Amino acid sequence: MNQFTAMVKARTMEFVRDRATFFWNLLFPILLVFGFSFAFSGNQDTLFKVGEWGTPSGADPFRDFHTIEEIDFISYGKDQSLDELLKKLRMHQLDLVVDYRDKQISYNEESVNAPILQRLYSAELKGSGWKEESVQGAPIRYVDWLVPGVIGMNMLFSCLFGVGFVIVRYRKNGVLKRLKATPVTAMGFVSAQMVSRFIIVLLTSVFVFLGTNLFLHFMMLGSYFNLILLTMLAILCMLSLGLIFAARFKSEELASGILNLISFPMMIFSGVFFSLEGTPPIIQSLSKIFPLTHFIEGARAVMLEGAGLVQILPQIGILGAMTVGFLLAAAFLFQWD
Amino acid sequence: MKPILQIKNLSKSYGNLTAVKGVDLDIPEGICFGLLGPNGAGKTTSIEMMEGILSPDGGEIRFRGKPIDRNFKKKVGIQFQSTALPEFITVRETLELFSAFYPDPRPMEELIELCSLQDILDQDNRKLSGGQRQRMLLALAIIPRPELVFLDEPTTGLDPQSRRNFWDLIQKIKKENTTVLLTTHYMEEAQMLCDRIAIMDHGKILECDTPDSLLDKHFQGVLIRLPAKGGALPPGAELQGDWIHMQTTDLDSSLKKLLAEGHDLTGMGIHKPNLDDLFIKLTGSTLRE
Ligand SMILES: Nc1ncnc2c1ncn2[C@@H]1O[C@H](COP(=O)(O)OP(=O)(O)OP(=O)(O)O)[C@@H](O)[C@H]1O
Ligand SMILES: [Mg+2]
């Protein structure tokens, strides 16, 4: 056995034998997925959502509807194309789209909310020259949307703590010092840690996905190959991020405090549990600095929109660039003691 | 013999505390070299600089005449004064792990035999007793068949039997022409094992020679030890704590003189000077805590 495989093996055994951590890593995301699936199994949206594109020229035939409290009106136009709106409609994020420029309303035939809205709007339209269109798209359940988020979040914690925290612990208790006294290089040690953690996180993610999919049958419009590719890249990226924290800290408490401090905003502002759409622009731009955001975006695109490799290239590019940046920073900062 | 390790003017400070102040040492090949000194003398700091673990503030370390290079760590074995072992893996797995680090590791059976690890092979590292742990750490240090092995207080915490076994083991390693550099607080051990010793205090080497030459240099004859009961000190005697110490080459006449001067000899001890006495003489403190 060579140095490298011996270290990967030892680290992996350590993880598997640390029962508490091991089961927590598997059980937590599974419980979360099932819990949310159960909690949101009803039709969660009692509100009707109408997307309006452009502004009315002349009198607005639907002006009176704006006083109905049960309808949520979202105005688009500057930074979104009509196609994007229609996509949201197909994905059940909107119940009806009003296109003021071409004088047309569109609704999703498969939406539970559509018929009532459509009737309401049609009544206003008789003889006004407006057209009606319908689109199709199966409803996306909250779990379908949530599962990439939960798996991504689990990846994040497992990577940050599994590399960041564990190396700090090794440094504090002297295991690192003992290794420094052998011919093992810092590079060899760190890459062994990364490889071991990579395998662990990839396997747990696949396991959690397959395990919950067995019962929940997630929507999967894209290819599994792309999903796995994106997952592997995201794991690598988060491991590299964890490595930056592993580079210097000597105290486990400090390391875990700081890791928590950064992972919580990541969890909240990467769109794990709720869509960032409609949040203040500052939060949306903030979310772009987190690798998790890009993974979740990409994974949702693959699963829910059937995005191919070309469509997720931006996410792949960003995750790749972040990985390189993090690795360089970690290599620059790393010290044994 | 040509030194395997040469140290010149080595120094190291922590903040404004100078732990090691200009240490010079030559470690001849194939011997057992003992570094002795009271707590805080700077032994660990010095030895860790020689191991390449700590970087010195000044001075020079040469291994076989050359500065320490990348291959140094393949040729030396190291046992730290205190160290952690990887968690959740057993003794056997730890030995396997460390064996993978070296180009020509000692076979597992030999290690187990040498360090008497038979009974603890499948035990988790965290569940070893102090002495079992020391044996395990020593096994890790000799895995690479080192040319030079550094042992920082290897027998602290061992029972007398285990300490004796350890001494046997060191003799065996020496026969393989491995140079041993150890620190210890046990003078008996130094006397037993070490061909040369250096006594260190406050970051400086006070003396460095073979134990016999050092004893010859500092003591003549035998030592008389008397409980101090106040009153005048006999001529040539020193007060050390509650004891009066006296050296003499003519025991007969010294004793007669003490009696004549009216000293009470109850509780008196007479012995040949040993390293303990030398240590106390040089550092003014006792080694054993
Ligand atoms: N990392 C450190 N930071 C600050 N001071 C240190 C550090 N390590 C050692 N010292 C100080 O340097 C001095 C020498 O310490 P060292 O550990 O070398 O002593 P030692 O001779 O090995 O003692 P002992 O017999 O107790 O092991 C001590 O005063 C100690 O407090
Ligand atoms: Mg020490």
pLDDT in tens, A165-224: 889 999 988 899 999 999 998 889 999 999 999 999 999 999 999 999 998 888 888 899
User: Residue range A91-100: average pLDDT?
Assistant: 83
Asked if residue B225 and residue B154 are part of one domain, the reply reads no
The C-alpha atoms of residue B77 and residue B98 are separated, in whole angstroms, by: 11
Q: How far is the CA of B6 from the centre of ligand 1 (A)?
A: 22
**Of A93, A117, A135, which marks where a domain is finished?**
A135
Written as six digits, the tokens of A47 are: 């509100």
3-state secondary structure at position A248: coil
Q: Is residue B5 part of a domain?
A: no
Q: Is residue B81 part of a domain?
A: yes
Q: How many domains are there within chain A?
A: 2
Here the ipTM equals 0.84
Identify the pLDDT of residue B285: 60
B210 Cβ contact list (under 8 Å, min separation 6): B195, B196, B197
Amino acid code (one letter) for B284: G
Asked if residue A322 and residue A186 are part of one domain, the reply reads yes
User: Residue range B188-210: average pLDDT?
Assistant: 93
Domain around A105: 48-135
Answer whether B65 contacts ligand 1 (Cβ < 6 A). Answer: no
Query: Is residue B289's pLDDT more than 70?
Result: no
Nearest one of A123, A93, A120 to A108, comparing CA atoms: A93
Asked if residue B142 and residue B202 are part of one domain, the reply reads yes
B88–A178: do the CB atoms touch at under 8 Å?
no
Asked if residue B107 and residue B189 are part of one domain, the reply reads yes
Asked if residue B182 and residue B253 are part of one domain, the reply reads no
**Residue count of chain A:** 337
């993610």: which residue's tokens? A205
Amino acid code (one letter) for B48: E
Nearest one of A45, A56, A40 to A117, comparing CA atoms: A45
Q: How far is the CA of A289 from the centre of ligand 1 (A)?
A: 44
Query: Is residue B181's pLDDT more than 50?
Result: yes
Asked if residue A155 and residue A219 are part of one domain, the reply reads yes
Q: Report pLDDT digits (tens) over B222-267.
A: 888 888 877 777 777 888 778 888 888 888 888 888 888 888 888 8
Domain around B125: 29-51+71-210
Residue nearest to atom 25 of ligand 1 (CA): B39
CB proximity under 8 Å: A 163-192 to B:
170, 173-175, 177-178, 180-184
The C-alpha atoms of residue B94 and residue B85 are separated, in whole angstroms, by: 8
Identify the pLDDT of residue A208: 92
- Continuous H helices in chain B: 43-50, 72-75, 91-99, 108-114, 130-142, 160-175, 187-193, 211-218, 251-260, 275-283
Answer for the pair A269, A290: CB distance below 8 angstroms, yes or no.
Answer: yes
Q: Is residue B283 part of a domain?
A: no
Asked if residue A35 and residue A10 are part of one domain, the reply reads yes
Asked if residue A96 and residue A207 are part of one domain, the reply reads no
Identify the pLDDT of residue B199: 93
- In the structure, what pLDDT confidence band is assigned to residue B159 with cuts at 50, 70 and 90? confident
**Of A135, A152, A177, which marks where a domain is finished?**
A135
**Of B210, B231, B253, which marks where a domain is finished?**
B210
Identify the CATH number of the domain in which residue A82 sits.
3.40.190
Q: What is the DSSP letter of B90?
A: B
Q: How many domains are there within chain B?
A: 2
Tell which of B79, B87, B138 to mutate to test the A interface (max A CBs under 10 Å).
B87
Which range has the worst mean pLDDT, A27-36, A123-132, A287-296, B139-148? A123-132
The C-alpha atoms of residue A326 and residue A295 are separated, in whole angstroms, by: 16
CB proximity under 8 Å: A 199-228 to B:
none
- In the structure, what pLDDT confidence band is assigned to residue B154 with cuts at 50, 70 and 90? very high
Answer for the pair A172, A254: CB distance below 8 angstroms, yes or no.
Answer: no
B174 Cβ contact list (under 8 Å, min separation 6): B30, B31, B32, B180
Asked if residue B42 and residue B174 are part of one domain, the reply reads yes
- Could you count the other beta carbons within 10 Å of the beta carbon of residue B187? 22
B83–A10: do the CB atoms touch at under 8 Å?
no
Query: Is residue B88's pLDDT more than 60?
Result: yes
Residue nearest to atom 1 of ligand 1 (CA): B14
Identify the pLDDT of residue B93: 94
Asked if residue A67 and residue A18 are part of one domain, the reply reads no
- More confidently predicted of A92 and A3: A3
How high is the mean pLDDT of chain B? 89
Q: How many helices (H) and strands (E) does chain B have?
A: 10, 14
Identify the pLDDT of residue B287: 44
Asked if residue B227 and residue B186 are part of one domain, the reply reads no
A182–B73: do the CB atoms touch at under 8 Å?
yes
**Of B159, B176, B210, which marks where a domain is finished?**
B210
Q: Is residue B16 part of a domain?
A: no
The C-alpha atoms of residue B100 and residue A213 are separated, in whole angstroms, by: 41
State how far residue B226 is from chain A, nearest Cα, in angstroms: 47
B100–A177: do the CB atoms touch at under 8 Å?
no
Residues of B in contact with A183 (CB under 8 A): 73-74, 101-102
Answer whether B12 contacts ligand 1 (Cβ < 6 A). Answer: no
Q: Is residue B94 part of a domain?
A: yes
Asked if residue A145 and residue A113 are part of one domain, the reply reads no
Look at strands A131-135 and A104-108 and give their pairing: parallel
Asked if residue A243 and residue A202 are part of one domain, the reply reads yes
Identify the pLDDT of residue B110: 93
Answer whether B10 contacts ligand 1 (Cβ < 6 A). Answer: no
Answer whether B44 contacts ligand 1 (Cβ < 6 A). Answer: yes
Asked if residue B224 and residue B178 are part of one domain, the reply reads no
Asked if residue B231 and residue B155 are part of one domain, the reply reads no
Answer whether B19 contacts ligand 1 (Cβ < 6 A). Answer: yes
Identify the pLDDT of residue B26: 94
Asked if residue A252 and residue A103 are part of one domain, the reply reads no
Written as six digits, the tokens of A195 are: 């490889």
Asked if residue B204 and residue B147 are part of one domain, the reply reads yes
The C-alpha atoms of residue B244 and residue B264 are separated, in whole angstroms, by: 12
- In the structure, what pLDDT confidence band is assigned to residue B48 with cuts at 50, 70 and 90? very high
Q: What is the DSSP letter of A183?
A: S
> Rounded to the nearest 5°, which phi and psi values hold at B274?
-130, -175
Asked if residue A76 and residue A90 are part of one domain, the reply reads yes
The C-alpha atoms of residue B160 and residue B154 are separated, in whole angstroms, by: 13
Written as six digits, the tokens of A213 are: 């999919």
CA B185 from centre of chain: 6
**Of B175, B210, B245, which marks where a domain is finished?**
B210
The C-alpha atoms of residue A86 and residue A93 are separated, in whole angstroms, by: 10
How high is the mean pLDDT of chain A? 87
**Of A135, A161, A182, which marks where a domain is finished?**
A135
Amino acid code (one letter) for A207: F
Whether A20 contacts chain B with CB within 8 A = no
Asked if residue A296 and residue A235 are part of one domain, the reply reads yes
Amino acid code (one letter) for A111: S
Asked if residue A282 and residue A158 are part of one domain, the reply reads yes
CA B76 from centre of chain: 17
Identify the CATH number of the domain in which residue B107 sits.
3.40.50.300
3-state secondary structure at position A249: coil
Identify the pLDDT of residue B57: 95
Q: Is residue B40 part of a domain?
A: yes
- Torsion angle (degrees, nearest 10) of CA B234, B240, B241, B242: -40
- In the structure, what pLDDT confidence band is assigned to residue A315 with cuts at 50, 70 and 90? very high
Asked if residue B235 and residue B103 are part of one domain, the reply reads no
Query: Is residue A245's pLDDT more than 60?
Result: yes
- In the structure, what pLDDT confidence band is assigned to residue B208 with cuts at 50, 70 and 90? very high
Tell which of A178, A179, A193 to mutate to test the B interface (max B CBs under 10 Å).
A178
CA torsion through residues A316, A317, A323, A326, sign: negative
Asked if residue B231 and residue B91 are part of one domain, the reply reads no
Instruction: Report the atom number in ligand 1 closest to the C-alpha of B200.
Output: 21
Q: How far is the CA of B173 from the centre of ligand 1 (A)?
A: 28
State how far residue B279 is from chain A, nearest Cα, in angstroms: 31
User: Residue range A76-88: average pLDDT?
Assistant: 80
Query: Is residue A42's pLDDT more than 60?
Result: no
Asked if residue B257 and residue B204 are part of one domain, the reply reads no
Tell which of B85, B88, B126, B136 to mutate to test the A interface (max A CBs under 10 Å).
B88
A14–B87: do the CB atoms touch at under 8 Å?
yes
Q: What angle do CA B165, B168, B173 make, to 5 degrees?
A: 125
Supply the pTM of this predicted model: 0.81
Asked if residue A179 and residue A315 are part of one domain, the reply reads yes
